[in-house]
Amino acid sequence: MGLPLRLKIFCGLVFLLVVLAAAFGSSFLVADVLIPPGGGEVRVAEAAPESYWDNLWLLARVIQGEAGDEPFLGKVAVGAVLLNRVRSGSFPNTLAGVVFQPLAFESVANGLIWWRPPSLESIRAAAAALAGWDPTYGALYFWNPAKPVNPWVWTRQIITQIGRHIFAR
């Protein structure tokens, strides 16, 4: 026989609180140091404005859609590319502007970002990218060479490959 419904609901709520606490833990809210896998450190701001949470959630959704099956480093790298575009001057100057640029990202064009919720790892990767970690060294483009792409991307200066994605300027 199964657990009583009230106990199932209670356990579900506790699980949700644990996941949220892990995703938005104190290391992302107070002056702290995030130590990403592979070493190094990223200073995290003392307080986060409301727009930070909007950007975190949007970035995590795109990371999940574009790199959901990639390793953590690959997820951070995809997030870093979006943020590099915001800063570049050649793209829209907001994260939403970059994300919703027509045909820029497959997961946006096909709606995947709306029906595939971000994993905890994608949320953490988004937080790491927003904190300044850029394993792509300034890349503005990424693609999976196993998928059909516009041949133009191969004219870009390739910087690195992380997981199945190539990153370029």
**pLDDT computed for residue 51 by the predictor:** 86
Confidence of residue 52 (pLDDT cuts 50, 70, 90): confident
Closest among 92, 98, 94 to 113, alpha carbons compared: 98
Look up the pTM and report it: 0.71
Q: What's the mean per-residue pLDDT of the chain?
A: 82
Which amino acid would we find at residue 120? L
Span 140-156, mean pLDDT? 94
**pLDDT computed for residue 117 by the predictor:** 93
In terms of phi and psi (left: phi > 0; alpha: psi -120 to 50; beta: otherwise), the region of 4 is: beta
HSE of 85 in the Cβ direction (CA atoms, 13 Å)? 23
- In sequence order, which residues have a C-beta less than 8 Å from that of residue 20 and are 6 or more positions away? none
Span 138-155, mean pLDDT? 95
Percent of the chain exceeding pLDDT 90 equals 66
